[in-house]
Amino acid sequence: MALPADLVRALDAAAATPRLLVASDFDGTLSPLVDRPADARPLPQAAEALVAIADLPSTEVVLVSGRALEVLREYSGMPSSVHLVGSHGAEFETGFALEIDDTLLATITDELNTIAAGRPGVTVEPKPASVALHVRNASVADGEAALAAARTVGEASGAEITAGKNVLEFAVISTDKGEAVDVFRRRGDATAAVFFGDDVTDEKAFRRMVGSDVGVKVGPGETLAAYRVDSPEDVAEALSHLLERRRG
């Protein structure tokens, strides 16, 4: 598959930077979207390229996902050379950036479970600092009703609400993938960053792209990213291209 010419040029420039940071979302970016979240795995080509990039000199790789950190570690299969950040940028390998309100989280989770009850295909996914309501496998009517009811719960609770593809997530701490990317940018004194993402939460990272950084949106929809590809397969191809150029 052929990558867009403007993206190839941007990746070539990033590959030549002295200190490179490569960051990516997981679901819908490295892994195709699946009906069962537990079935998500990175495409082999993408995983192999990421690991190889992480082993290059003056180069760091980080996955920034909405998944809980331990789940991301299991599903991604990444070695320790690839840094992981879970919970939409709030959960680092050293712990959470902020204190979690466990009581509020439990209350929201109970209410979402009530909303999901009796609506086939509506599921609740608890996480350490948030809880998500998924409607990907529900009927249109049940999905819309569940999302509307869940949003009312979230707004009343004061939780941070994030809308994704067939999902609403309610965080009891502030989450920002862009800040997570910048943490690693500062830590490694990166001279350029490349970020791949497909969902609304990734826009916070695209907003932080500056200078020779490369933000790549996966799939359709409005975006702040300067570049776009169609699918996770394209992301795998882009990572392989970046690896080849960085090695050179």
Structural domain contains residue 234: no
Both 120 and 88 in a single domain?
Answer: no
Closest C-alpha to 122, from 151, 100, 142: 142
Do the beta carbons of residue 55 and residue 45 sit within 8 Å?
no
pLDDT > 90: what percent of the chain?
A: 79
Domain count, the chain: 2
Considering the candidates 6, 12, 25, 189, report the single residue annotated as catalytic.
Answer: 25
pLDDT > 70: what percent of the chain?
A: 99
Q: Which helix (H) or strand (E) holds 167?
A: strand 167-171
Could you list the residue range(s) of the whole structural domain that residue 89 is in? 6-96+176-194+206-216+242-247
Is 35 annotated in the active site?
Answer: no
State pTM to two decimals.
0.80
More confident position, 99 or 232: 232
For residue 129, the domain's CATH number is 3.30.70.1020
Q: Encode pLDDT of 181-222 as tens digits.
A: 999 999 999 999 999 999 988 999 999 999 999 999 999 999
Mean of the per-residue pLDDT values for the chain? 94
Both 35 and 63 in a single domain?
Answer: yes
Distance separating alpha carbons of residues 211 and 227, to the nearest angstrom = 14
Which of 111-125, 154-168, 212-226 is predicted least confidently? 154-168
pLDDT bucket at 13, cuts 50 / 70 / 90: very high
Say what the alpha-carbon torsion angle 31, 32, 35, 37 is, to the nearest 10 degrees.
10
Residue 52 in 3-state DSSP? Answer: helix
Structural domain contains residue 229: no
Both 11 and 92 in a single domain?
Answer: yes
